[in-house]
Structure 1
């Protein structure tokens, strides 16, 4: 489920960026770059279609963001150290025989 939501989220992000870049700015038109905007988006132009698509993609982005946050916070057993075995207990130190007393 987590991987599916991430896939939907990434695809939505890419589409959202592309749709926003296709929309015209304050002083520019899509037709100036790509030709006639009527041929690409119909006679009404890109305004209504791209605006609605941007709204839908933004809503999907918000829902997937909240879902990913919830799934990440409630993940069970997500430790990367679960399968690592604990090291063996160290052997007791080897006792060396006492050194002979120093002679004068």
Structure 2
């Protein structure tokens, strides 16, 4: 099922690209008002703007639906379970009961009380 949705998704994306490239810009209709041969086109003197606009909207809707479908398929087929999340080990010794030599955290040496500010030596001038 995923492969079918993926193939429809890719074909829809290519169709949207092709439809956008075939559409004319807004400035292209100025030449049609002066009789620039637009009456001999496939879609008539109005051009294919309305057809291409509607086809692009339909393909954009299909593209959105296939994107949404692929996201749901990916979510349902994910292999992450509750077993992959590590749990807290309860059987080990408490943090306060661990001797200082076994700890990975280095011990902090207290060199000065917290309320004393060291004074810089006076420079001689």
TM-score normalised over the length of structure 2:
0.51
Q: Cα RMSD (Å) of the superposition?
A: 2.7
In structure 2, the partner of 1:28 is 28
**Aligned length in residues:** 75
In structure 2, the partner of 1:73 is 75
In structure 1, the partner of 2:62 is 60
TM-score normalised over the length of structure 1:
0.60
Give the match's secondary structure for 1:45: coil
In structure 2, the partner of 1:40 is 42
The gaps in structure 2 that reach 5 residues or longer are 32-36, 81-125
Q: Can you list the C-alpha shifts for 1:35-91, whole angstroms capped at 9, x where unaligned?
A: 74852324542111001101100000000000000001101669xxxxxxxxxxxxx
Contact 1:2-1:68 within 8 A present in 2 as well? yes
The gaps in structure 1 that reach 5 residues or longer are 79-104
